[in-house]
Each structure stands twice: as structure tokens, then as C-alpha cells.
């Protein structure tokens, strides 16, 4: 394992880990606030229990997200000092704003978690909403910083020097909106389906069905709306990168040769040596249409780029197929849910229906990780697109693989502990509920 590969692996692992916790941490507060709102409106104690149960999840995920985010702010320098030396002042704006948003989120979370019975109910509710809104703002800002790496702007690159820096122009780079939109919807989809799946499973177990049904409904409505909007956002993204980062689109589609009426390649095994894709379904002209809105349009292939600037085609292609495939399954399930809501109420209590959602629990997050792989691996070999190569940015300190091994061990144990905690939280829900309903009856 050479140092560059070790550094890339450590960064991928850290981001892959952070992204899950950050997404849950920014979406769950909205579920929590919705349930809290319903409680304040209806006075149904089940909603109070649900709000409290979810707020524990929010706390666990917030901390894991915050800690893994703190690590990333150090790792940027520990692994990519040459990148940060030049990029820091240019794309720092979203990070400095994110610091504020995150700080507000932490303060609001302090109010919310420790504020039961201390504040007026609607003020307390409001602090929960602030947690969600500022978490969302943090997410969008961080993605804008990543957008800058894909679409560097806000400076002039003259003879290897970065001149006329304009951090505001860097923040509003060409990629920020498409990426932030896609990521936000992905976060809502993935978290919505994951939370709904867990509650669907608990409904199947037959205890506290009322409670879990309320939880399921809130989560799935958020998840399904986001999942249905996601293809639109995906289309905007595809048209954007077709122009801005054609090499990435070419790798996603394993599109080796520039051509008009380019086919959409679904599945298949890319053969990079022979520059072809075996066993794939090809739809003539569909790629041209998706990329440029015209079946005849020319789509730039990898042949337009020197070989040393090609992204790893197979990884990007597979990741893209996984993302789209799973996204489509979730769209299907979302439609199914809305049909059940408007036409077939009785489906919602059927076991097959609930089982479908249980099986879909991890799909959103797998799609999200796959999408992240597409955007990050698809940018390679560049760390700043067409400005700086990843291999020129890596730290000079040798032995990064040991650091990678240690942090891998830490992340695996953290993931293990968090899953264990959640398992115990979920297992304990009936006991807490019984206790709460007793207290409610007493008071």
C-alpha cells in the first residue's frame, strides 16, 4: 500500500463514515420537530414519547457526526497539506460559515436536550427546529466546498500561482447548487427510508404498533417526497457535469469514445484495455438525450483526455449504476406508499407491505455512499479539477498506511458501538414507553 493510496483510503473512510452520521444528524431533527409539533397540537402522549426517543438518536448521531467532522478538519491538513496551503484561503468561506451554523446547532441542541420542562413549550420546539435548520445549512455549506474542488472558481491560476482570490465567488462555484440539492435530497431519502424501515420492522413484531406507525408515517413521508424529487435533481446534475466535467460523466457511463447519438449503457463490465463494455444493455441516443436534451447531441468520451487524466472507469461506472438502480427502487416504493395513502389504506397494515420497507432500510445509504464515490472517484486524478493532482497534494510524511490502519480500527469500533447503542435504544423503547405511560397516568 503506497502512501498516496493509504491517504486516499483514509480520507475515503473518514468521509464515508462522516457522511452517514452527518446526514442522519441533519435530517432526524426534522422528524423530531415534526413529532414534537404534533404533540403540541394534539397532546397525544405517544408523540411526546416519540420525540424523546428520537431526540436520543439525534444526540448520538450529532456527537458522532461532530467528532468525525472535527477529525476531517484536521485530516485535510494531515493528509493533504499542499492542497490546503493553496485551497484554504480560497474555499475557506463555506467552512467559516459552517463553523457558525454548526455552533448554533450545538447550542440549540443543548437547549433542546436539556430543556424539557424548563422553557415555554413553543420556544423549546423552536430550538429543535433550529437544530435541524442549522444542521442542514452546515451540510449545504460543506457540499459547496466540495463543489469548489469539482468546479474551481474565485481565483486566477497564473504560472502555478493562485492570484486574485475571491472567496465569495469560490463559494458560489458552478457545482455548489446541483451538488447541494442532490446531497440534501439524498440525506432526506436515505434517513427517511432507514428510520421508516426500522419502525416497520418493530410494527411487524406487533408491540406498540400505534407508536411505531406514527414514527413510520413521519419518516416515510419525508423520505418518499425526497426520493420522488431526486430524479429531477439527478437530471440537473447530469446535464451540468456533461458540460463542466465531461471526463466524470464519461467514466460514469463508461463512454470511451466521443460520439453523436451516444447510447446509455446500463450495467455491464467495462473493459478499460479494450475500451468497451461487455454484457451491458445499450439504449441508443439515450445518453445524448440525458446529457444534452437531444438524441443526436455529441457526448464527449474519455478519448478526449490523456490517459493519465482518466478517472478509474470501472469503480465510477459500478458506483453510478448502484446509485441509480437503488434510487429507482426507492422511487417505486415511494409511489407505492402514496398509492397506499390515497387509494389502498388497507395495504398499510399488510405484512408484505411492511416487509418491503424493512428490506429497503439500508438502500438509501448504500445509494448515498455510491453517489459520493461517483463524485469523488470521478474527479480523480485531480484534487482540484484541472488545477492540482491528488498525488501532488499528499503529505510528505512516510508510513501513512499505519495511520490508515489505526483509524480504520477506530471507525470500525465506533460503528460497532453506535449500532450496539441503537440496538439497545430500540430494544428498550417498550420499557421506556411502559414507564412513561405509567408516569403520564400518575400525573
Partner 1 sequence: MLYVVIIFLCLALLMYVILGGADFGAGILEIFTPTRMRAQLQNTTYKTIGPIWEANHMWLIIAIVILFVGFPPIYTTLSVHLHIPLALMLIGIIGRGTAFVFRHYDAYQDDMQKVYDFIFTYSSFITPFFLGLIFGAAVGGQIDPEAMGFYEAYIHPWFNLFSVSVGVFTVAICGFLASVFLVGEAKKAEVKMFVVRKAKLFIVFTVLAGGLVFAASIIDKVPLVGLLLTEWITVGTLVLATLAIVFLWLKLQEGSKTLVRLLSGFVVSAILLAFGYHYFPDLIILKSGENLSFFNSAAMGKPIDTLAWALLIGSLFILPSLFYLLYSFQKPKSVE
Stretch that binds partner 1, among 83-91, 176-184, 239-247, 347-355 (CB under 8 A): 83-91
Rule CB under 8 A: is residue 115 a binding residue for partner 1?
Answer: yes
CB of 41 to partner 1, least distance (A): 21
Please check whether residue 365 is in contact with residue 24, taking contact to mean a CB–CB distance below 8 angstroms.
no
Q: How does strand 156-158 pair with strand 264-266? A: unpaired
**Per-residue cell: 324:** 441509480
CB of 51 to partner 1, least distance (A): 15
Residue 156 beta carbon to partner 1: minimum distance, rounded to whole angstroms: 13
Q: Which of 44, 395, 408, 437 is in the footprint of partner 1 by CB under 8 A?
A: 395
**Of the candidate residues 424, 434, 439, 440, the single one contacting partner 1 (CB under 8 A):** 424
Closer to partner 1 by Cβ: residue 339 or 410: 410
Residue 165 engages partner 1 in binding (rule: CB under 8 A): yes
Which residue, 265, 226, 233, is CA-closest to 249?
265
Q: Residues 81, 268, 285, 381: which binds partner 1 (CB under 8 A)?
A: 81
If binding is defined by CB under 8 A, does position 440 make contact with partner 1?
no
Nearer to partner 1, 78 or 204 (CB): 78
Alpha-carbon gap, residue 195 to 215, rounded angstroms: 8
| 247 CB-near residues (< 8 Å, 6+ apart) | 300, 302, 304, 305, 309, 310, 311, 378
Q: Cα(71)–Cα(121) distance, rounded to whole angstroms?
A: 36
DSSP-derived pairing of the beta strands 156-158 and 161-163: antiparallel
Query: CB of 438: closest distance to partner 1 in angstroms?
Result: 17
Applying CB under 8 A, does 70 fall inside the site for partner 1? yes
The pairing of beta strand 269-271 with beta strand 298-299: unpaired
Cα distances from 391 to residues 330, 359, 394, in angstroms, run 37, 40, 6
* Shortest Å distance, C-beta 279 to partner 1: 44
What are the residues facing 384 on neighbouring strands?
A: 388
Least distance to partner 1, CB of residue 190, Å: 22
Are 298 and 259 within 8 A, CB to CB?
yes
d(CA 109, CA 411): 24
Q: Can you tell me the distance from the alpha carbon of 374 to that of 252, in angstroms, rounded to the nearest whole number?
A: 7
Bond before 381 cis per omega within 30 degrees = yes
- Cell digits for 404? 490508515
Candidate residues 1, 2, 42, 73; the one interacting with partner 1 per rule CB under 8 A: 73
Q: Is 168 in the site for partner 1 (CB under 8 A)?
A: yes
Which stretch in 26-34, 251-259, 263-271, 426-434 sits in contact with partner 1 by CB under 8 A? 426-434
Binding mask 29-68 for partner 1 (x = CB under 8 A): ---------------------------x--xx-xxx-xxx
Q: Which three cell numbers stand for residue 7?
A: 491517504
Residues 178, 137: Cα–Cα separation, whole Å: 15
The nearest distance, CB 117 to partner 1, in angstroms, is: 4
CB of 60 to partner 1, least distance (A): 5
Nearer to partner 1, 99 or 332 (CB): 99
Distance CA 269, CA 265 (A): 10
Residue 205 binds partner 1, judged by CB under 8 A? no
Interface with partner 1 (CB under 8 A), residue from 4, 12, 106, 328:
106
79 vs 247, which CB is nearer to partner 1? Answer: 79
For partner 1, the closer CB: 59 or 204: 59
Query: Per the structure block, which three cell numbers stand in for 40?
Result: 403540541
Residue 133 DSSP label: H
Using CB under 8 A as the binding rule, whether residue 383 contacts partner 1 is answered as no
Q: Which residues bind partner 1 (CB under 8 A)?
A: 56, 59-60, 62-64, 66-71, 73-78, 81-82, 84-86, 88-90, 92-93, 95-100, 102-104, 106-111, 113-119, 165-168, 395-398, 403, 406, 410, 414, 417, 421, 424-425, 427-428, 432
Amino acid at each position: 500500500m503506497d502512501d498516496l493510496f493509504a491517504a486516499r483510503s483514509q480520507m475515503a473512510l473518514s468521509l464515508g463514515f462522516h457522511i452517514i452520521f452527518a446526514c442522519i444528524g441533519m435530517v432526524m431533527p426534522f422528524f423530531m420537530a415534526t413529532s414534537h409539533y404534533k404533540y403540541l397540537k394534539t397532546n397525544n402522549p405517544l408523540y411526546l414519547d416519540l420525540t424523546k426517543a428520537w431526540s436520543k438518536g439525534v444526540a448520538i448521531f450529532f456527537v458522532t457526526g461532530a467528532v468525525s467532522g472535527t477529525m476531517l478538519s484536521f485530516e485535510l491538513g494531515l493528509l493533504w497539506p499542499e492542497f490546503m496551503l493553496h485551497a484554504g484561503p480560497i474555499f475557506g468561506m463555506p467552512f467559516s460559515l459552517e463553523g457558525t451554523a454548526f455552533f448554533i446547532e450545538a447550542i440549540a441542541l443543548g437547549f433542546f436536550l436539556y430543556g424539557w420542562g424548563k422553557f415555554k413549550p413553543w420556544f423549546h420546539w423552536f430550538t429543535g427546529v433550529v437544530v435541524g435548520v442549522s444542521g442542514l445549512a452546515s451540510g449545504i455549506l460543506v457540499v459547496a466546498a466540495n463543489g469548489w474542488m469539482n468546479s474551481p472558481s474565485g481565483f486566477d491560476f497564473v504560472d502555478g500561482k493562485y492570484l486574485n482570490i475571491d472567496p465569495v465567488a469560490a463559494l458560489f462555484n458552478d457545482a455548489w447548487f446541483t451538488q447541494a440539492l442532490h446531497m440534501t435530497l439524498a440525506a432526506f431519502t436515505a434517513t427517511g427510508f432507514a428510520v421508516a424501515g426500522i419502525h416497520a420492522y418493530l410494527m411487524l413484531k406487533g408491540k406498540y404498533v400505534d407508536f411505531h406507525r406514527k414514527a413510520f408515517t413521519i419518516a416515510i413521508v419525508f423520505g418518499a417526497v425526497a426520493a420522488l424529487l431526486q430524479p429531477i435533481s439527478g437530471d440537473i446534475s447530469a446535464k451540468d457535469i456533461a458540460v463542466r466535467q465531461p471526463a466524470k460523466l464519461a467514466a460514469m457511463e463508461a463512454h470511451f469514445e466521443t460520439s453523436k447519438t451516444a447510447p446509455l449503457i446500463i450495467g455491464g463490465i467495462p473493459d478499460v484495455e479494450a475500451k468497451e463494455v461487455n454484457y451491458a444493455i445499450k439504449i441508443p441516443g439515450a445518453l445524448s438525450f440525458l446529457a444534452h436534451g437531444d438524441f443526436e447531441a455529441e457526448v464527449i468520451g474519455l478519448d478526449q483526455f490523456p490517459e493519465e487524466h482518466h478517472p478509474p472507469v470501472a469503480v465510477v461506472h459500478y458506483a453510478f449504476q448502484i446509485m441509480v438502480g437503488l434510487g429507482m427502487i426507492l422511487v417505486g416504493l415511494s409511489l407505492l406508499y402514496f398509492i397506499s395513502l390515497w387509494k389502498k389504506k388497507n395495504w398499510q397494515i399488510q405484512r408484505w407491505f411492511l416487509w418491503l420497507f424493512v428490506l429497503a432500510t439500508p438502500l438509501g445509504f448504500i445509494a448515498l455512499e455510491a453517489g459520493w464515490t461517483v463524485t469523488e472517484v470521478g474527479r480523480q486524478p485531480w484534487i482540484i479539477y484541472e488545477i492540482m493532482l491528488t498525488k501532488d497534494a499528499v503529505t510528505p510524511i512516510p508510513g501513512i498506511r499505519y495511520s490508515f490502519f489505526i483509524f480504520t480500527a477506530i471507525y470500525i469500533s465506533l460503528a460497532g458501538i453506535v449500532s450496539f447503542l441503537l440496538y439497545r435504544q430500540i430494544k428498550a423503547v417498550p420499557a421506556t414507553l411502559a414507564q412513561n405511560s405509567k408516569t403520564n397516568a400518575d400525573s
